[in-house]
Amino acid sequence: MFKSYFAIFLLCCLMFTNFSRMFVFSAFKLNQKYIASTLCENRDKPEMHCNGKCYLTKKIKQAEEREKKEEQDGQKKNFQENYILRQCSVEFPFSFELKMEHIIEDDSFLPKQTSEVLHPPPTPHHFLS
């Protein structure tokens, strides 16, 4: 149950990052009267009929710049990881050979087949009391 809620939460988080402009626009529509009366740059000029649209365009530009910056940071990180990994790979000019010195030739002391189920050793009763 927890896993399904957590998966839905992560899915929503991923969707929120992709729809940032939509959230800016919906927040603008919900608070348009407040934005037009207090945050609008043209609130002193009612003949322009701005109604907070200047504030909306500013916020959308900020969201787009933030998305571009995050994308560039991600690309930069991927490039750095790939470049560093390629620089760190070292090829040895020689090869290794492993010799098996202790080969068991007489395996008569090893059990051939066991059908018993192994159990842990019994515990002393004086520890349980």
Distances (CA, A) of 59 to 27, 31, 65, 108, 119: 10, 13, 10, 81, 69
Q: What's the predicted TM-score (pTM) here? A: 0.46
User: Which residue segment(s) compose the domain that 44 sits in?
Assistant: 21-88
Number of structural domains (the chain) is 1
Residue-by-residue pLDDT tens, the chain, 129 positions: 888 888 888 887 777 666 777 778 888 888 888 888 888 888 888 888 888 888 888 888 888 888 888 878 777 777 666 666 666 556 667 777 767 666 666 767 766 777 777 788 887 766 555
Q: How many other C-beta atoms lie within 10 A of the C-beta of residue 127?
A: 6
**Residue 47 belongs to some domain of the structure:** yes
The answer to whether 40 and 59 are in contact (CB under 8 A) is: no
Q: Is residue 53 part of a domain?
A: yes
For every residue of 42-93, DSSP letters joined together read TTT-GGG--TTHHHHHHHHHHHHHHHHHHHHHHHHHHHHHHHHHHHH----S
